[in-house]
Amino acid sequence: MPRHSPFHIELSAKEAAQLNRRAVRYTLPYFEVVRAKMILMAAQGLDNDQIAARLDTRREVVSQWRKRFFTDRLAGLDERARPGRPRAPAAAA
């Protein structure tokens, strides 16, 4: 049985423009691009299962970012402080 998210996403013109910029920038970290794409697809009316299938991720991940965007808007897509040791920078090849 398909599940429908209670977090319906509607974007302002400014939010849509910002997310579109993030979604096509190949210089941004991959996770930022994917989060922007998730929200853009949610605004188009796709459900979490469809978005997860298109972006090759889990439905729970899409659900988490949809909820964070719904509550915090663009700021919800940013990285939050985490407990413990900071992330190490990626190793050079």
pLDDT value of position 55: 92
Contact (CB, 8 A) for 59 and 49: yes
Report residue 82: phi and psi, to 5°: -115, 150
What does the alpha-carbon distance between residue 74 and residue 85 come to, in Å, rounded to a whole number? Answer: 26
pLDDT value of position 92: 61
Looking at the domain assignment, is residue 45 inside a domain?
yes
Looking at the domain assignment, is residue 6 inside a domain?
no
Residues 6+ apart with CB under 8 A from 26: 33
pLDDT tens digits, one per residue of 41-71 = 999 989 899 999 999 999 999 998 888 888 8
Mean pLDDT, the chain, as a whole number?
82
Domain extent at residue 43? 18-77
Q: Which two tokens stand for residue 15?
A: 């939010």
- Computed on alpha carbons and rounded to an integer, the radius of gyration of the chain in Å comes to 14
Looking at the domain assignment, is residue 30 inside a domain?
yes
Looking at the domain assignment, is residue 66 inside a domain?
yes
Looking at the domain assignment, is residue 26 inside a domain?
yes
Looking at the domain assignment, is residue 85 inside a domain?
no
Instruction: Say how many domains are in the chain.
Output: 1
Record the pTM.
0.74
